[in-house]
């Protein structure tokens, strides 16, 4: 725990941190590509083979991160992910817009946190597959000295971790293999990258729905926040049960074999922020949280709520 990392001359991290102090060196020559062909990861326990998916990844079973990637227009998915993604979309056509709206919310929240709120440290748990404008890219455009610790325990995300480990020379990025349900391990490992005596922005974007029990989900977030000092922030977004079509689509998704995702009510989403000082406009639909100027004045409602809160 708390293993350090080495930032090269171009600001690229050389190591992936594992609980217990284990490390995996990642070669600097690795370049992220949107397909498996040609990928080479040099690490002590690499499971990627050029031209083939990693051996630990079952491409016959749908995967939430790959389905999400498909909805966002990415290429890191397989036919089974596309099949389930299309079935969900047929039931709930707005799912693609919801995925995009969630991603756009994340960008606005990180811009606010690194800009107006002055946060320089980010703990992004449940990172998912890299895409355009990852947390470190947005934060470091606002303040190049920002430090980011990404957390996931998905072998597919691990293969693509180098796309998350490109930092400015002034800042830092690290990837931590850890489980969402083990907050103590997450905090201990994050301390190798972040100064947990100073404010941190905790990012939980579309991840808490994977914890079925709402009380347990609230408890995980509280335990993570307990390890962060006053002045830290929580940015959280998740899908909601605010339309019949969304509920039906997610029921079908949960029967597909992918890791289930549980919708919550807006009130249950707001419960994650108990004890925090909500940033205006509070806990609102994705599209309603500090939207960027729209020359057409349009704002589509979506079945997902988000908010930002400050720890007093």
Instruction: Tell me the pLDDT tens digit for each residue of 181-233.
Output: 999 999 999 999 999 999 999 999 999 999 999 999 999 999 999 999 999 99
Q: What is the pLDDT of residues 133-155, one digit of tens each?
A: 899 999 999 999 999 999 998 77
Where is pLDDT greater, at 277 or 71? 277
Confidence of residue 288 (pLDDT cuts 50, 70, 90): very high
pLDDT band for 269, please (50, 70, 90 cuts).
very high
* pLDDT in the model for residue 131: 76
Kindly state the DSSP code that residue 173 receives in the 8-state scheme: E
- Whether the CB-CB separation of 201 and 113 falls below 8 Å is answered with yes
**pLDDT for res 21:** 53
Rg, the chain, Cα only: 19
The mean of the pLDDT values for the chain is 80
- Output the CA–CA distances (angstroms, integers) from residue 288 to 40, 108, 303, in the order listed: 41, 11, 12
User: Which domains are assigned to the chain?
Assistant: 60-310 (3.40.50.150)
Alpha carbon distance, N-terminus to C-terminus of the chain: 28
Q: What is the mean pLDDT of residues 103-128?
A: 95
Q: Is 215 exposed, middle or buried (0-12, 13-18, 19+ CB in 10 A)?
A: exposed
pLDDT of residue 136: 95
| DSSP string across 251-279 | HHHHTTTSPP---B-HHHHHHTTTTSEEP
- Across the range 107-132, mean pLDDT stands at 93
Question: 106 and 203 in contact (C-beta within 8 Å)?
Answer: yes
């Amino acid at each position: 725990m708390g293993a350090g990392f080495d930032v090269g001359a171009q600001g690229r991290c050389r190591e992936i941190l594992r609980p217990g102090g284990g490390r995996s060196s990642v070669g600097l020559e690795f370049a992220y590509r949107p397909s498996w062909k040609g990928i080479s990861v040099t690490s002590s326990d690499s499971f990627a083979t050029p031209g083939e998916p990693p051996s630990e990844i079952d491409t016959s079973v749908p995967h939430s991160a790959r389905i999400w990637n498909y909805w966002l227009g990415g290429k890191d998915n397989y036919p089974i992910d596309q099949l389930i993604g299309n079935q969900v979309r047929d039931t709930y056509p707005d799912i693609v817009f919801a995925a995009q709206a969630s991603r756009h919310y994340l960008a606005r929240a990180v811009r606010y946190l690194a800009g107006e709120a002055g946060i320089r440290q980010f703990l992004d748990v449940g990172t998912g597959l890299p895409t355009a404008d990852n947390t470190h890219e947005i934060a470091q455009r606002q303040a190049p000295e920002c430090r980011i610790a990404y957390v996931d325990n998905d072998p597919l995300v691990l293969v693509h971790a180098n796309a998350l480990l490109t930092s400015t020379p002034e800042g830092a990025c690290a990837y931590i293999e850890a489980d969402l349900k083990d907050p103590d391990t997450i905090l201990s490992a994050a301390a190798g990258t972040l100064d947990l005596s100073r404010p941190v922005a905790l990012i939980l974007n579309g991840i808490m729905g994977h914890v079925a029990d709402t009380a347990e989900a609230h408890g995980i977030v509280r335990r993570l926040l307990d390890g962060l000092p006053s002045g830290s922030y929580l940015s959280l977004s998740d899908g909601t049960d605010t339309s019949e079509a969304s509920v039906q689509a997610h029921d079908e998704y949960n029967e597909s074999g992918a890791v289930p995702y549980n919708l919550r009510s807006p009130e249950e989403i707001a419960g994650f922020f108990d004890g925090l000082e909500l940033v205006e406009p509070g806990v609102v639909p994705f599209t309603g949280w500090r939207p960027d100027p729209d020359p057409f004045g349009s704002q589509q409602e979506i079945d997902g709520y988000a908010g930002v809160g400050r720890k007093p």
